[in-house]
Amino acid sequence: MENQKKKIAILGSTGSIGTQALEVVSEQEKYLQVEVLTANSNADLLIKQAIQYKPNHVVIADESKYQQVKDVLDPLDIKVFAGNKAIEELMGITDADIVLTAMVGYSGLKPTIKAIENKKRIALANKETLVVAGELITHLCAENRVDIIPVDSEHSAIFQCLVGENLNSIDKVILTASGGPFRGKKRDELLEVTKAQALKHPNWSMGAKITIDSATLMNKGLEVIEAKWLFGLNQKQIDVVVHPQSIIHSMVEFNDGSIKAQMGLPDMKLPIHYAFFFPTRVQTDFKRMSFKEITNLTFEEPDPITFRNLGLAFEAMDKGGNMACILNAANEIAVEAFLQDKIKFLQIAELNEKCMNKVSFIQKPSIDDYVATDEETRIIAKSLLS
């Protein structure tokens, strides 16, 4: 391990992934230091984090909170900025070694692009970046010789299984899904489920958006699309299996019939840690898995009829163009509406499908097309809610 500390930029430091990433920094302070912290609107926690980790730069996206953050951090010689544009611009000049993109949803796209153009290694926790603009992102990474190390537990598992392997030898990857809080339920049992029920994930502690996506299986659908771009796969090479225990995080089947699986307790700090230190493995004090305690691992087929969002994701991947961008934008509006009690649980997928049928399809989108598609989809989705 090199003596010089790695500088880390954490985009979305007050969210679930961001806070766990800072725990990893604390545990490995000999090797890691924080260069940049950004948050959407949680000024109080951002201030607390900045005081503890002393980054050079802090950005609060909510411009109304700028003065509050600046008043506290300016005397500490921490440069404070505000607005989403500032996050993007900072990624173009930061000297961070690794950028952890943990912003929620579409908002992570432009900063990630700027970080890639600035030739920064990406620790990717914002799957929507590849869902929305996978072809563009993979092209930019190749052009700038930038590595993307996935932080999603499933994609980290696949990445780890593929170290030292020839990608041409992949038959398929098998993404595991916990099944969420409604595993085994049928449509008629989900007609009146509440927000509180949907937010009770059986295995993982996550933010509200991703927890609802897990309940609808949209999260797995987005991961399917992400896997296509991360590993250069086609639709027939990606499978999903429900694994309620969340111990096997994903698997790779090779052309000789052999299957590799990556296993571990459901703890996001492990894939974060792996992304920060790759290709080196560094000792941790994380809790170890015991096969004396874990004696039953089960697998089931997902139910695409009840959980329609998974099927919509496969359809969007097959269609290509800007269809995944449409699906992602529609889903962000639909989940927000569900969390605000404006629509019911099953209506999330219904709204997504309507938008996929209504929004203008573009086969070869540019970055401007993606931006326009996102805006158009949100307008149409909101109009369908009224």
Q: Does 209 have pLDDT greater than 90?
A: no
**Quick one: pLDDT at residue 205?**
61
Instruction: For 122-148, write each residue's pLDDT tens digit.
Output: 999 988 889 888 889 999 999 999 999
**Spatial distance between the Cα atoms of 91 and 111, rounded to a whole number of angstroms:** 6
> What are the residues whose beta carbons fall under 8 Å from the beta carbon of 269, sequence distance 6 or more?
20, 23, 24, 286
Burial class of residue 147 in the structure, from the number of CB atoms within 10 Å of its CB (0-12 exposed, 13-18 middle, 19+ buried): middle
**Spatial distance between the Cα atoms of 115 and 141, rounded to a whole number of angstroms:** 10
Give the pLDDT band (50/70/90) at residue 203.
low
Instruction: For 72-124, write each residue's pLDDT tens digit.
Output: 999 999 999 999 999 999 999 999 999 999 987 777 889 999 999 999 999 99
Q: DSSP per residue over 232-294, as a string? A: T--GGGEEEEE-TT--EEEEEEETTS-EEEEE--S-THHHHHHHHHTTS-----PPPP-TTT-
**Residue entry with tokens 């000049």:** 93
**Quick one: pLDDT at residue 107?**
79
Please tell me the least confidently modeled range out of 49-53, 201-205, 305-309, 331-335. Answer: 201-205
Q: At 308, list the tokens.
A: 């329609």
On the CB side of 21, CA atoms within 13 Å amount to 36
Q: At 1, list the tokens.
A: 């391990």
> What are the residues whose beta carbons fall under 8 Å from the beta carbon of 366, sequence distance 6 or more?
136
Q: Does 1 have pLDDT greater than 60?
A: no
What CATH architecture is 320-386? Orthogonal Bundle (1.10)
What CATH architecture is 6-150? 3-Layer(aba) Sandwich (3.40)
**Spatial distance between the Cα atoms of 108 and 125, rounded to a whole number of angstroms:** 10
Q: Does 3 have pLDDT greater than 90?
A: no
Q: At 109, list the tokens.
A: 């796209």
Instruction: For 221-280, write each residue's pLDDT tens digit.
Output: 999 999 999 999 998 999 999 999 999 999 999 999 999 999 999 899 999 999 999 999
Give the pLDDT band (50/70/90) at residue 200.
confident
Averaged over 320-339, what is the pLDDT?
95
- pTM for this model (two decimals): 0.89
**SS3 label, residue 17:** helix
Question: Which residue type does 75 have?
Answer: P
Q: At 121, list the tokens.
A: 């290694």
Please tell me the least confidently modeled range out of 80-84, 283-287, 330-334. Answer: 283-287
Question: Which residue type does 230 have?
Answer: L
**Spatial distance between the Cα atoms of 174 and 236, rounded to a whole number of angstroms:** 11
Q: At 150, list the tokens.
A: 């996935």
Percent share of the chain, pLDDT over 70 = 98
The bridge status of strand 121-124 relative to strand 32-39 is: unpaired
Element housing 323 (H / E): helix 323-339
Residue of 215, 191, 221 whose CA lies nearest to 312: 221
Same fold, 6-150 and 320-386: no
Give Cα 359 distance to the centre of its chain.
Answer: 24
313 close to 327: Cβ distance less than 8 angstroms: yes
The bridge status of strand 248-254 relative to strand 170-177 is: antiparallel
Averaged over 289-309, what is the pLDDT?
92
Q: Domains of the chain: which residue ranges?
A: 6-150, 155-319, 320-386
